[in-house]
Structure 1
């Protein structure tokens, strides 16, 4: 239903630096034409977002209790001891009744603070002979979360279960922590000198949680119960993602009849709220030119007009970019604005190259806004617990 496959392409590639802050109605058959996380479970076949959806096929729920003493899966960048530390962090969260979003936050934090190693420091007397897995750079910070003296004794902070419990105790006191960006929540707990660094670990932390606890990062808390693959209408999955609108996918990604269709069309009534699929920074918020070079987005478009209409591109941690096209009015967000997962960024319309109201939604990898970076949004969103539903 749009000329979106090439939206932004004729402008040339956008050169992006490292983003520290981050880092839907009757369904119509609508016509449209047209880095990234490098850590994966051994044996899952490489980059799932690009080459398949092995993670999306992983069973989700009921959430499995982690067996710390059992055999654990292997990860390309972490050894057995580090994975076991991750399992301890998750198990403590499970035992405390902390929702699975908290396990992702805790893992990402420990990944940044210690690379999941139980670190001592030069200030620990050798006479204590406490078990640890290396010596950190900070003189008075210890353990998986590099906790300082106020968190407990030396022996306590070097106990992974104790350290995890103390982290969760403070985490759950952060207001609206399940809806807020991981960087914000982790910083409220840790008070780190580098608060933005946590975001880069969210993707891998989610994959570890999925592997160790039966797809738990794909769940959302509904009425106190973890429900799989249901993150929509502003509810955020433990992975940090949500569906941009509730609705059925009509036109698919790069079909035989439309090979340059670089996204999917989701049918929705005009005016349906569009939400940011994840926390990110606004790259583009504008009216796309039509085939004649006009910026004419305040009226309904038509097939063959060309252009994305009113649209937004968001950059997320991990180098992911999401695109939202054919809005009915100017988007509610501006370039360089930081938006949170589930935040309303605009409303469904039919501007640009469109035959009726819908959202054209794209996902791109490696900071690449062009067609070369586009991947199928359906498996990508499903493996994050925020599936785009099939048309009924």
Structure 2
């Protein structure tokens, strides 16, 4: 499987005008890392859902400030998602009794808490810079779940509210910065994530290796995921941050809990497996582990955290990881989608080299 990679500097996205009522003209000197976004050099600003051109302009300013500060693209996603929660990407004035104390601007920063003067925090570029300055001081911020990283900056009364914005924030960054959320987290030269790296979207491949048996093929129409061959005891990584929903042995066709030995075709069951719930009500599934998973139901895991090791338990003909992606929080076959394009769109293509 060919890798889709990008080149160019983290500062390649540049707004050429930030003042007045006109849309900024922006250009990109790099190619994308994945499918790319429809960057418009004519100065018009795209729209995503409820986010009109004025709100997208604010998102563009946030991204541009991050690029100028050499903040890795993961930070752009976190910053845009935070502003989506705090202000809906609107540069809010002091709303009086409708506001939280003296919270102002894109990030609802409070002058009384040392963020700056009222005029300063209503300047989108200033507000974004202050957000990034504090984010960069958070230990391990690139690996933290987005909602945790945002909360350490904002200290919000609603610390779990940021996570729901991650998918759309990722889409906005990809659209405005030509696929930047698909790049590796490192600043300098954005590129496709490889090995154990996590893309700026917050996603990474669970193991190296290319899918073999595909999603719902003609000969296996009920195969709701893909199989990635790997040696026994290869570490399996959480594809993104989330909460463990299931961590157990799946009964075989005879109703037996026999996951501590190799399986065979037709035995039935997922063997030792884990389901993880991610932002956007997305669920990933990891099957056929060699032993009890390293995580338990209810655990919060970080992107890239080792959750188990490859085996051949359950309905299996040899060591491999059966990997599934489900939408809308639906763990059944109805919610399953093809993981290959899903992961590719997030800058974590299945089939990367070790």
Shorter-chain TM band: 0.7 to 0.9
Question: How far did residue 77 of structure 1 move?
Answer: 1.1
Looking at structure 2, the residues matched to 163 and 142 of structure 1 have their Cα atoms a distance apart, in angstroms, of 10
Q: Give the structure 2 partner of residue 264 of structure 1.
A: 226
Looking at structure 2, the residues matched to 138 and 289 of structure 1 have their Cα atoms a distance apart, in angstroms, of 51
Of 375-384 and 71-80, the range deviating more from structure 2? 71-80
Looking at structure 2, the residues matched to 341 and 122 of structure 1 have their Cα atoms a distance apart, in angstroms, of 37
Q: Give the structure 1 partner of residue 53 of structure 2.
A: 80
> What secondary structure does 1:266 align onto?
strand
**1:105 corresponds to which of 65, 71, 78:** 78
Q: Give the structure 1 partner of residue 121 of structure 2.
A: 157
Q: Per-residue displacement from partner, 1:149-174 (whole Å, max 9, x unpaired)?
A: 11000110110000001101111111
Cα separation, partners in 2 of 1:122 and 1:214, compared to 1, 3 Å: closer
Q: Are 2:92 and 1:119 aligned? A: yes
Stretches of structure 2 lacking an aligned partner (at least 5 in a row): 16-23, 26-42
Cα separation, partners in 2 of 1:222 and 1:96, compared to 1, 3 Å: closer
Question: How far did residue 212 of structure 1 move?
Answer: 0.4
Q: Give the structure 1 partner of residue 298 of structure 2.
A: 336
Looking at structure 2, the residues matched to 195 and 137 of structure 1 have their Cα atoms a distance apart, in angstroms, of 18
> What secondary structure does 2:276 align onto?
strand
Looking at structure 1, the residues matched to 126 and 186 of structure 2 have their Cα atoms a distance apart, in angstroms, of 29
Q: Per-residue displacement from partner, 1:282-327 (whole Å, max 9, x unpaired)?
A: 1111111111110001011111111110000111111111000000
Q: Is the 8 A contact 1:365 1:374 kept in 2?
A: yes
Q: Give the structure 1 partner of residue 241 of structure 2.
A: 279
**1:143 corresponds to which of 105, 118, 122:** 105
> What secondary structure does 1:226 align onto?
coil
Question: How far did residue 138 of structure 1 move?
Answer: 2.0
Between 1 and 2, higher relative CO (CA 8 Å, sep ≥ 6) is seen in: 1
Q: Is the 8 A contact 1:219 1:231 kept in 2?
A: no
Looking at structure 2, the residues matched to 302 and 283 of structure 1 have their Cα atoms a distance apart, in angstroms, of 26
Looking at structure 1, the residues matched to 240 and 14 of structure 2 have their Cα atoms a distance apart, in angstroms, of 27
Stretches of structure 1 lacking an aligned partner (at least 5 in a row): 1-56, 124-134
Q: Are 2:167 and 1:203 aligned? A: yes
Looking at structure 2, the residues matched to 139 and 118 of structure 1 have their Cα atoms a distance apart, in angstroms, of 16
Looking at structure 2, the residues matched to 221 and 167 of structure 1 have their Cα atoms a distance apart, in angstroms, of 18
Q: Are 2:331 and 1:369 aligned? A: yes
Question: How far did residue 184 of structure 1 move?
Answer: 1.1
> What secondary structure does 2:220 align onto?
coil
Looking at structure 2, the residues matched to 163 and 106 of structure 1 have their Cα atoms a distance apart, in angstroms, of 10
Q: Give the structure 1 partner of residue 140 of structure 2.
A: 176
**What are the residue-to-residue correspondences of 1:277-356 with 2, within 5 Å?**
277-356=239-318
Deviation >6 Å, runs of 4+: none
Looking at structure 1, the residues matched to 256 and 294 of structure 2 have their Cα atoms a distance apart, in angstroms, of 22
> What secondary structure does 1:321 align onto?
strand
- What TM-score do you get using the length of structure 2 for normalisation? 0.87
> What secondary structure does 1:326 align onto?
strand
Q: Give the structure 2 partner of residue 29 of structure 1.
A: none
> What secondary structure does 1:249 align onto?
coil
Q: Is the 8 A contact 2:72 2:186 kept in 1?
A: no
Question: How far did residue 222 of structure 1 move?
Answer: 4.9
Q: Give the structure 2 partner of residue 27 of structure 1.
A: none
> What secondary structure does 2:191 align onto?
strand
> What secondary structure does 2:185 align onto?
strand
